[in-house]
């Protein structure tokens, strides 16, 4: 079975859905594939309200945004193929797809890769015990499947994911004993940290997890204070009565498809590691192949949506579905919104990092 479309999108998260919507609005025939059995990527586990201005859908909760995007994509005639993994991209370009043990391919004029990111792990004695899991894993269990995988939690990492998931664990009825953060300062937004503090959960900076204990699953965890060199200060160890340890220690872009295509990469730690270079229109070093969202640099759902928007517009323009004047004006609006999201103390370093990536991306 072989299909043919104008634009094929890999990943039905916020980035992929937005890209599909913009492409379809301009009149392109669009297929979105996602290996999950439900669309939305990470959006449906995000039950907090979004920040930013009205254009960024501030004040709306992640799962409602997910429903809006799906609805819009469907109205525009976007085909969404679930349970479908893209395992390779071949010259053509052609996507190699697998659904329910059936192989098929799809030829596409343009491809947008929006595969997202996966959570980083952290190794310490006892980290493989059941009860230790990614913070995103806990978020999936409580908000999507409505199950608490533990009652008393230690959160490792105070970035936005660590802070948000801590709050959501409290909302789900768990007790969070503490958040430990190895750095000198809390990593995430002050608004989130304030909520956690008001809820009575201590955030200890300059602290880390040393080990966790338990026969068949976690029954306690030991933390300690770090000196300037990042070594545990002896005598500062403390053992906490917890049955769950959540790791919120960053995300890594899932760029495997682009590795296999031999796209140009650049190491940008501020955005999650090895990243595909891309130009201002989200096109990679390989003509006709675009990226959007976390795979192009780990940020947040709002930036992922804007990048998807940009990639969708750029594809439509290069296919001749939008004239360059109209496309130029639309893209400019999106770029402005992206810039607003990447300003201020928490955004500026991402703006700088993105500029490095796009500069490299332009040298084709």
Partner 1 sequence: MVRIKDHPILGALEETQEITIFVDGKPVLARAGEPIASALAAQGIRVFRNTANRKEPRGLFCAIGRCTDCMMTVNGIPNIRTCITPVREGMQVETQDGLGRWLNDG
Residue with tokens 């659904």: 99
Nearer to ligand FAD, 181 or 300 (CB): 300
Q: How many angstroms separate the Cα of 173 from the Cα of each of 42, 61, 135, 139, 143?
A: 22, 20, 16, 13, 12
- Would you count residue 35 as binding partner 1 (CB under 8 A)? yes
Q: Which of 30, 42, 192, 311 binds ligand FAD (CB under 6 A)?
A: 42
What SS3 class is residue 326? helix
Query: Would you give the binding string for partner 1 spanning residues 55-94, x where CB under 8 A is met?
Result: ------x---------------------------------
Burial class (CB in 10 A: 0-12, 13-18, 19+), 77: exposed
Please give the Cα distance from 22 to 74 (Å, whole number).
12
Minimum CB separation of residue 86 from ligand FAD in Å reads 4
Nearer to ligand FAD, 79 or 214 (CB): 79
- Would you count residue 209 as binding partner 1 (CB under 8 A)? no
- Would you count residue 94 as binding ligand FAD (CB under 6 A)? no
User: Pick from ligand FAD, partner 1, none: which does 81 bind, CB < 5 to 8 A by kind?
Assistant: none
What SS3 class is residue 144? helix
Please give the Cα distance from 154 to 150 (Å, whole number).
10
Token representation of residue 202: 């201590």
Nearer to ligand FAD, 57 or 207 (CB): 57
- Would you count residue 106 as binding ligand FAD (CB under 6 A)? no
CA 127 to chain centre: 23
- Would you count residue 136 as binding ligand FAD (CB under 6 A)? yes
Cis bond leading into 319, ω under 30°?
Answer: no
User: Pick from partner 1, ligand FAD, none: which does 143 bind, CB < 5 to 8 A by kind?
Assistant: partner 1
Please give the Cα distance from 96 to 281 (Å, whole number).
25
**CB environment 144-183: b (16+ within 10 A), e (fewer):** eeeeebbebbbbbbbbbbbbbbbbbbbebebebbbbbbbe
- Would you count residue 16 as binding ligand FAD (CB under 6 A)? yes
User: Pick from ligand FAD, partner 1, none: which does 14 bind, CB < 5 to 8 A by kind?
Assistant: ligand FAD
- Would you count residue 213 as binding partner 1 (CB under 8 A)? no
Q: How many angstroms separate the Cα of 56 from the Cα of each of 65, 85, 173, 334?
A: 10, 30, 30, 10
Nearer to partner 1, 62 or 361 (CB): 62
Chain contacts with partner 1 (rule: CB under 8 A): 35-37, 47, 61, 118-119, 121, 128-134, 136-138, 140-143, 145-151, 171-173, 216-217
Chain contacts with ligand FAD (rule: CB under 6 A): 10-16, 33-36, 41-43, 46, 85-86, 114-117, 119, 136, 139, 161, 164, 251, 254, 293-294, 300-301, 304
């Amino acid at each position: 079975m072989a299909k043919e479309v104008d634009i094929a999108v890999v990943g039905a998260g916020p980035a992929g859905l937005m890209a599909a919507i913009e492409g379809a609005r301009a009149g392109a025939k669009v297929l979105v594939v996602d290996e999950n059995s439900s669309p939305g990527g990470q959006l449906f586990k995000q039950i907090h309200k979004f920040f930013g201005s009205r254009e960024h859908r501030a004040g709306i909760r992640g799962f409602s945004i997910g429903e809006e995007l799906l609805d819009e994509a469907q109205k525009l005639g976007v085909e969404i193929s679930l349970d479908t993994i893209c395992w390779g991209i071949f010259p053509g370009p052609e996507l190699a797809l697998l659904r329910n043990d059936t192989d098929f391919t799809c030829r596409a004029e343009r491809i947008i890769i929006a595969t997202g990111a996966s959570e980083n792990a952290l190794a310490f004695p006892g980290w493989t015990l059941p009860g230790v899991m990614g913070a995103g894993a806990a978020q999936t269990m409580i908000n999507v499947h409505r199950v608490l995988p533990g009652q008393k939690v230690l959160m490792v990492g105070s970035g936005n994911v660590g802070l948000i998931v801590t709050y959501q664990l409290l909302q789900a009825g768990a007790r969070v004993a503490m958040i430990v953060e190895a750095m000198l300062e809390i990593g995430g937004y002050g608004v989130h940290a304030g909520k956690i503090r008001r809820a009575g959960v201590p955030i200890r900076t300059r602290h880390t997890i040393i080990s966790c204990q338990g026969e068949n699953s976690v029954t306690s965890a030991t933390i300690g204070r770090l000196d300037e060199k990042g070594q545990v200060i002896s005598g500062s160890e403390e053992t906490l009565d917890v049955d769950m340890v959540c790791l919120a220690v960053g995300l890594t872009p899932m760029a495997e498809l682009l590795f296999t295509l031999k796209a140009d990469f650049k190491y940008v730690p501020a955005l999650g590691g090895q990243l595909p270079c891309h130009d201002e229109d989200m096109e990679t070093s390989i003509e006709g192949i675009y990226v959007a969202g976390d795979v192009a640099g780990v940020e947040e759902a709002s930036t992922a949506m804007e990048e998807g928007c940009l990639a969708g517009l750029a594809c439509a323009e290069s296919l001749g579905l939008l004239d360059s004047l109209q496309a130029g004006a639309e893209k400019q609006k999106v770029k402005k919104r992206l810039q607003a999201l990447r300003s201020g103390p928490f955004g500026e370093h991402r703006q700088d990092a993105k500029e490095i990536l796009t500069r490299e991306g332009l040298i084709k």
